[in-house]
Amino acid sequence: MKTSGTTRFERTAQVPRLQELKAVRPREGAADLRDVLRTGPFEAALDSAVRASGLSLERIQHRLAERGVEISVTTLSYWRRGRSRPERPQSRRAVRLLEELLGVPTDGLVSLLGPRRPRGRWVHRDDEVVETEHLWREFVSLPELLAELGSTDDGLLRVAAHDSYELDARGAGARLTTRLTLKATRDGVDRCVVILRGEDPDGALPEFTDVRNARLGRLRSDPSVPLVVAELFLDRTLSEGGTTLIEYTLRFPDEGRRAEECGRGFHAPALLYTLEVAFHPDTVPVRCRRCSSAAVTGEPLSAEPVWISAAGRVHAVFENPGPGFRALRWEWH
């Protein structure tokens, strides 16, 4: 059972070449930009440069991609609002290209970043954001499903997630209960979009039940995977920084095949992910591992054995999970 509370899908229009963009750039805000380039901080300078350019983030992303630098619109938005900073080499290269694209003097933005921050296991990597299509890159039908919902970024940061997965006597999934702590990254956020992949393309799709602090909206699915995209409308519209808690349960059809993993994809860093799996006492796997990978179907970047209790229960706690897929995977007799 694989799930994600992160979605992105953007359609980018054709844009004029760099020299054409410079020719039509409005001069409004140029004085403010000069001032903030002298004083900083980086996010204020980037925001002023974007506004002075008259370009949308989608157009900026498109121009960066033409130069061979893939940066998501979400990442650009986070940089612009100071929610994260460019740290990786490719991110720094993107800033160099932004200076050229936005008409900022050389080193005008880079100089405001200062030296790279220390990196390591003890450092929260909040500068990393990945596209949902990259996270779920093996699923070619996902962009169309998201497009049918009109979905881009749902504007919610997954602060914490708790998944509780129960299996039946055949080793198939019976139910999955999810609790999410969410924080709005912009004003006017009114829904949460989730992606769900089942184990059995020949089986019926799971049913959403017991939804709390939200109500079920539209569902779009590709039964051949099976893949489901669902929107949950929040009980209230959130302003930037506002928080909410939602909970829902997925009930799976009785005829499903044996499951071999359960996990969650994150397109942006979170604070905590807790995953519990309860096996039926008559059907317990021989071993189980906690795994982290860059994508839902990717090879594990790390895999550690975890203890299965006498009652057939196992859990994993992922602190500060960065973008990628976190899961428990097990092997049957």
**Taking a C-beta distance cutoff of 8 angstroms, is the pair 305, 294 a contact?**
no
**Taking a C-beta distance cutoff of 8 angstroms, is the pair 256, 172 a contact?**
yes
CA dihedral 145, 146, 147, 149 (to 10 degrees): 100
Two tokens at 31? 């004085």
Q: How confident is residue 237, by pLDDT bands cut at 50, 70 and 90? A: very high
**CB within 8 A of 285, min separation 6: which ones?**
171, 279, 308, 330, 331, 332, 333
Q: How confident is residue 94, by pLDDT bands cut at 50, 70 and 90? A: confident
Give the C-alpha separation, 185 to 157, whole Å. Answer: 7
Over residues 196-206, mean pLDDT = 77
* Span 242-264, pLDDT tens digits: 999 999 999 988 877 899 999 99
Res 217 pLDDT > 80: yes
Q: Length of the chain in residues, anyone? A: 333
Give the C-alpha separation, 112 to 99, whole Å. Answer: 12
164 vs 101, more confident: 164
Chain position carrying tokens 């790279």: 116
* Span 148-158, pLDDT tens digits: 887 656 888 89
**Taking a C-beta distance cutoff of 8 angstroms, is the pair 267, 323 a contact?**
yes
Q: What rounded mean pLDDT belongs to the chain?
A: 82
Q: Are strands 214-222 and 287-293 parallel, antiparallel or unpaired?
A: unpaired
Residue 195: closest CA among 154, 242, 253, 160: 154
Q: How high is the pLDDT of residue 26?
A: 40
pTM: 0.65
255 vs 2, more confident: 255
Q: How confident is residue 3, by pLDDT bands cut at 50, 70 and 90? A: low
Q: How high is the pLDDT of residue 276?
A: 98
